[in-house]
Amino acid sequence: MNPMSQSALVPLRKKAKMVHISQSFCQHHIKFKEIVLFLVERKMGSSRRAFLMDLARKRGFQTEIELSDSVTHIVAENNSGPEVLKWLQSKNLGFTDKTHILDISWFTECMEAKHPVEIQNRHLLTVQQDCSANFNPPLSSSCVQVSQYACQRRTTLQDTNRIFTDAFDILAEYFEFSENKGRKVAFLRASSLIKSLPFPITAMKEVERLPWLGDQMKAIIEEILEEGKSYKVLELMSEERYKSFKQFTSVFGVGLKTSDKWYRMGFRTLEDIKNEKELKLTKMQKCGFLYYEDITSSVSWAEAETTDQLIKSIVWKFVPDAVVTLTGGFRRGKKNGHDVDIIITCPRKGKEKNILHNTISVLKNQGLLLFSDIIESTFVETKLPSKHVDALDHFQKAFLILKLPTQQTAIGDIIDPCGCEGRKWKAVRLDLVITPYEQYSYALLGWTGSRQFERDLRRYTTHERKMMLDNHGLYDKSKKVFLKASNEEEIFEHLGLDYLEPWERNA
């Protein structure tokens, strides 16, 4: 309630004296004395900032025009955490470890509710700050704030906490085999977050304020800190079902449904499967067993590069201006992977349509193709991006197994098509994806990964930007338009995100 008081009727010259008083003292009744807001003007503009500050005061909040020690909540719009930090640094403004640095979404929800709402992980901006005012990021600190979204965290291959992330990845896999999607996702998120930390975890206080770390995750971290290992993880790894599913899913063409079927039939090892003559296998699964040793061994960077050059030499012969790009983990800087992913497009509209079949024909004629499974495009231009974070795309693609020459062996010298001893080649998994040129940037972003990065990017797009994103495009629901992008940087810009290089997306 905010009735007009008699003091509002004093002469204008007396009201003018109030201009010099801090705006945290105002004519509006202060309902929430424990909260003092500061709105960052950067990207918000002075007019909008003044309007929002006035709205906040009408709702009973305190606001400050200038940042001071009394401020408890810093609110920014269309800014990332590092941008806010840099802005504060340029203005010589400081804050304490008790200051919340929040996205405008928290402020908006407070205004709609007419009272402070609980701060969720999605409201936090990514700011890794020192608790003092010198703005030097700590090597380790309990005051570190980390975004819940992997797309707002820079995650390189330098995982300084692998002892914890390996444990969480194993647990995620265990719950995937158990068809417990909720717990699987929970451990994947926790693992992804810890991979982004710039310091090694040495004490429990360092993870107290991190998102996605529930009691179970913290218990495992504490156990590893104390014992050097997690007995809970070791116990789950020794379970018969886990060990069987681990073997079954390692075969090319075998997923969870097939693994479950085999397990219920009484099979426990790959030898059990091989010895069962009556068991019907798909062509893909037969190849998976036939070239098992090759396919389950890692693909080196040199082998990925050789595969990339092979595909380029074939494609460029009949489409000289085609764009052929090595994606996946190798684009993120990995030195080894489980397969090779390549995206192909062409600036000339429609010229990409015959590339896949022509390339496969050449591979067959050269005797380099061991297996191929072609999936034709099912994309519809008017279709909106999928709402599901794990949704597959609708591009034309092929899943292949190639005969890749071993070192010092020329492609023309590859012989021994039956896979006999002494062969001069290695079976390598290859995925070829064909995309229209106008969708290439979105396809490149999607196929570069990592998987958790892509999940969080789509989740961020939906929840924070009210848009829809998949490998085909970005749709702005408020404007009801598809947003074009000629490169990945423009997609990040559409989403109001700091651009992350491919090697910073290893979430």
Q: Answer yes or no: is 339 a known binding residue.
A: yes
Q: Which residues contact 111 (CB under 8 A, 6 or more apart)?
A: 55, 56, 59
The answer to whether the predicted template modeling score (pTM) of the entire model surpasses 0.85 is: no
Q: Which regions of 419-463 does DSSP assign to beta strands (E)?
A: 425-434
Distance CA 424, CA 204 (A): 52
431 is catalytic: yes
C-alpha of 502 from chain center: 11
Bridge partners (DSSP) of residue 323 are 345
Q: Is the per-residue pLDDT at 489 higher than 80?
A: yes
C-alpha of 84 from chain center: 22
Phi-psi region of 405 (alpha: psi -120 to 50; beta: other; left: phi over 0): beta
Phi, psi for residue 254 in degrees, rounded to 5: -110, 120
Bridge partners (DSSP) of residue 124 are 102
- Whole-angstrom Cα Rg for the chain: 28
- pLDDT (average), residues 74-99: 74
Lowest-pLDDT choice from 103-107, 361-365, 423-427? 103-107
Structure confidence at residue 47 (pLDDT): 80
Distance CA 410, CA 414 (A): 7
Structure confidence at residue 95 (pLDDT): 61
| Band of pLDDT at residue 144, cut at 50, 70 and 90 | low
| Band of pLDDT at residue 419, cut at 50, 70 and 90 | very low
Q: What does the pLDDT look like over 186-227, one tens digit per residue?
A: 999 999 999 999 899 999 999 988 889 989 999 999 999 999
Structure confidence at residue 15 (pLDDT): 38
Q: Which of 186, 233, 230 is nearest to 212 (CA)?
A: 186
Q: Which CATH superfamily is domain 21-145 in?
A: BRCT domain (3.40.50.10190)
Q: Which of 128, 191, 203 is nearest to 162 (CA)?
A: 191
Q: Which residues contact 51 (CB under 8 A, 6 or more apart)?
A: none
| Band of pLDDT at residue 6, cut at 50, 70 and 90 | very low
Q: Is the per-residue pLDDT at 145 higher than 80?
A: no
| Band of pLDDT at residue 43, cut at 50, 70 and 90 | confident
Cα torsion at 217, 221, 227, 233 (round to 10°)? Answer: 40
C-alpha of 331 from chain center: 15
Query: Residue 128 corresponds to which amino acid?
Result: Q
What DSSP designation does 347 have?
A: S
Structure confidence at residue 132 (pLDDT): 32
Pairing, β 73-76 against β 100-103 = parallel
Pairing, β 336-337 against β 299-300 = antiparallel
Distance CA 392, CA 471 (A): 8
Outline which parts of the chain fall under CATH 1.10.150.20.
240-290
Kindly state the greatest CA–CA separation across the chain.
102
Q: Answer yes or no: is 431 a known binding residue.
A: yes
Distance CA 401, CA 421 (A): 19
Output the average pLDDT for the chain: 86
Q: Which residues contact 40 (CB under 8 A, 6 or more apart)?
A: 74, 75, 76, 77, 79, 84, 87
Outline which parts of the chain fall under CATH 1.10.150.110.
152-237
| Band of pLDDT at residue 92, cut at 50, 70 and 90 | low
The more confidently predicted of residues 87 and 301 is 301
Residue 265, classified by CB atoms within 10 Å of its CB into exposed (0-12), middle (13-18) or buried (19+), is exposed
Catalytic residue among 103, 294, 308, 339: 339
Lowest-pLDDT choice from 105-114, 157-166, 330-339, 443-452? 105-114
- pLDDT (average), residues 304-320: 97
Query: Residue 414 corresponds to which amino acid?
Result: I
Contact 153, 146 (CB under 8 A): yes
| Band of pLDDT at residue 97, cut at 50, 70 and 90 | low
Cis peptide before 450 (omega within 30 of 0): yes
Structure confidence at residue 13 (pLDDT): 38
Q: Which residue's entry shows tokens 């070192």?
A: 407
Q: Which residue's entry shows tokens 């699987």?
A: 184
Contact 91, 135 (CB under 8 A): no
Q: What does the pLDDT look like over 224-262, one tens digit per residue?
A: 999 999 999 999 999 999 999 999 999 999 999 999 999
Q: What does the pLDDT look like over 422-446, one tens digit per residue?
A: 688 999 999 999 999 999 999 999 9
Residue 258 tokens, joined: 């097939």
C-alpha of 199 from chain center: 20
**Percent share of the chain, pLDDT over 90:** 65
- pLDDT (average), residues 333-361: 96
Distance CA 28, CA 2 (A): 7
DSSP string, 113-136: HTSPPPPPGGGB--B---SSSS-P
Highest mean pLDDT among 71-75, 111-115, 478-482: 478-482
Q: Which CATH superfamily is domain 152-237 in?
A: DNA polymerase beta, N-terminal domain-like (1.10.150.110)
Structure confidence at residue 69 (pLDDT): 77
Residue 221 tokens, joined: 């971290």
Lowest-pLDDT choice from 345-354, 381-390, 393-402, 453-462? 381-390
Catalytic residue among 103, 169, 294, 341: 341
Structure confidence at residue 274 (pLDDT): 94
- pLDDT (average), residues 157-162: 94
Q: Is the per-residue pLDDT at 105 higher than 70?
A: yes
Residue 253, classified by CB atoms within 10 Å of its CB into exposed (0-12), middle (13-18) or buried (19+), is middle
CATH architecture of 240-290: Orthogonal Bundle (1.10)
Q: Answer yes or no: is 169 a known binding residue.
A: no
103 is catalytic: no
Structure confidence at residue 417 (pLDDT): 44
Residue 2 tokens, joined: 């905010």
Outline which parts of the chain fall under CATH 3.40.50.10190.
21-145
The more confidently predicted of residues 407 and 383 is 383
215 is catalytic: no
Catalytic residue among 54, 130, 272, 431: 431
Q: Which regions of 148-295 does DSSP assign to beta strands (E)?
A: none
- pLDDT (average), residues 332-339: 96
